[in-house]
């Protein structure tokens, strides 16, 4: 791959988004874009820049009473015949335009052009968000240098339709297992059909009433759903096992332990194995920095129903919100795009908040 041109942080945020999109950075291939970001930010004396793998951190140190983090990931999902970037009227098309190089461009513009913010700011542009958590740059930074993530408030610039989405829900996957006894299907009465035994699992899921707690004035909507089912041995054999895979999206007022306990109790009488889980993130909208941010943005605040890396900040005791350009429905799609107006509005509102 050819060496990319240097990033021009004096360009408008839309032009800068094009520059970032045209540096292919599929997960685990972020060296070129991280090099470009590190070089560009290192040119500014008001920033202290450090490199951690392919994660770049830039900080102001002005002695302000508050510090905030503004973060975005540099990687994308695999290319799908959607490079280079293409401007079509008011929409910018291309891999990563929405998820989330439009947000990254805003971060870089703010880092370069707001030399004396009214709060100290830590800008984090990190690697490997789109793949397994073990590679995630924020996850690794929280383990190796948690002090660099310390702040009173954090903003993750994931696409949120340029609206504030506060906190995020937690998520877990569980395998609920029904057992039986194998037998020849011609003599079914000699065995126990595990797939039939799984029917009450589905009945419980169908009857489930979602919990809707209100946190900081925001109503979260939990979800408990079957997302997979497997069982069967052969066309003439009664199966002795059937596994229903369940996904639970839980509101951030529940811990991982509480969520796991709920799932085990909900499926009492069955073997339940927790496959993976991740905690939610409380919105923290009552904090001064959050209130000032919402006032500056002047937009409706919504709960985040999905899971994002804001949860990593909550794990460190830092309230966080999602706020970035782009409709998340277009993330990872071949026709991924972002409205130009979203990029410009996010930059203007964050600049006002920091000025």
Q: Cα 127 to the chain's mean position, in Å?
A: 13
Which candidate, 310, 323, 248, places its Cα nearest to that of 281? Answer: 310
| 152 annotated active-site | no
| Residue 224 neighbours by CB distance under 10 Å | 20
Q: Which residues pair with 120 in a beta bridge?
A: 67
Count how many residues are written for the chain. 355
| Residue 210 neighbours by CB distance under 10 Å | 11
Per the CB < 8 A criterion, the answer to whether 266 and 206 are in contact is no
- What is the torsional sign of CA 326, 342, 308, 100? positive
How many H-runs (helices) and E-runs (strands) does the chain carry? 10, 19
Taking the alpha carbons at both ends of the chain, their separation in whole angstroms is: 39
| 129 annotated active-site | yes
Helices 340-354 and 102-113, axial angle in degrees (round to 10): 30
The DSSP H or E segment spanning 178 is strand 170-179
Choosing from 24, 99, 127, 129, which is the catalytic residue?
129
Per the CB < 8 A criterion, the answer to whether 135 and 127 are in contact is yes
The DSSP H or E segment spanning 148 is none
Rounded Cα–Cα distance for residues 311 and 280 (Å): 5
3 state DSSP class of 317: coil
Burial (Cβ within 10 Å: 0-12, 13-18, ≥19) of residue 337: buried
266, two tokens: 């909900």
Choosing from 35, 75, 104, 158, which is the catalytic residue?
75
Question: Pairing state of beta strands 218-219 and 214-215?
Answer: antiparallel
Which candidate, 180, 134, 130, 139, places its Cα nearest to that of 158? Answer: 130
Give the active site residues. 75, 129
């Amino acid at each position: 791959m050819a060496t990319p041109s240097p990033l021009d942080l004096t360009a408008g945020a839309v032009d800068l988004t094009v520059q970032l999109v045209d540096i292919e950075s599929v997960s685990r291939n972020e060296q070129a874009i991280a090099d470009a970001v590190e070089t560009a930010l290192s040119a500014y004396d008001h920033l202290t820049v450090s490199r951690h793998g392919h994660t770049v951190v830039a900080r102001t140190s002005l002695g302000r009473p508050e510090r905030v983090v503004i973060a975005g990931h540099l990687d994308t999902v695999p290319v799908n015949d959607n490079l280079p970037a293409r401007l079509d009227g008011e929409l910018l098309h291309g891999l990563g335009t929405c998820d989330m190089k439009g947000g990254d461009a805003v971060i870089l513009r703010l880092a370069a052009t707001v030399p004396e913010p009214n709060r100290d700011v830590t800008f984090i542009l990190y690697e490997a968000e789109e793949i397994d958590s073990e590679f995630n740059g924020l996850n690794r930074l929280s383990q190796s240098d948690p002090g660099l993530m310390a702040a009173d408030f954090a903003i993750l610039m994931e696409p949120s339709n340029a609206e504030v989405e506060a906190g995020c829900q937690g998520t877990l996957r569980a395998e609920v297992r029904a057992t039986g006894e194998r037998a020849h299907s011609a003599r079914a009465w000699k065995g126990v059909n595990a797939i039939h035994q799984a029917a009450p699992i589905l009945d419980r899921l169908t009857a489930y009433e979602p919990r809707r707690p209100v946190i900081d004035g925001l109503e979260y909507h939990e979800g408990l759903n079957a997302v997979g089912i497997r069982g069967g041995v052969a066309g003439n054999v009664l199966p002795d096992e059937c596994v229903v895979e369940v996904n639970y999206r839980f509101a951030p007022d529940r811990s991982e332990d509480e969520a796991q306990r709920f799932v085990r109790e909900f499926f009492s009488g069955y073997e339940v194995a927790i496959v993976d889980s991740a905690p939610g993130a409380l919105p923290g909208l009552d904090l001064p920095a959050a209130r000032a941010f919402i006032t500056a943005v002047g937009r409706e605040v919504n709960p985040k129903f999905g899971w994002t890396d804001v949860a990593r900040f909550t794990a460190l005791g830092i309230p966080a919100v999602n706020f970035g350009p782009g409709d998340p429905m277009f993330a990872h799609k071949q026709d991924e795009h972002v409205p130009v107006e979203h990029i410009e509005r996010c930059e203007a509102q964050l600049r006002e908040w920091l000025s």
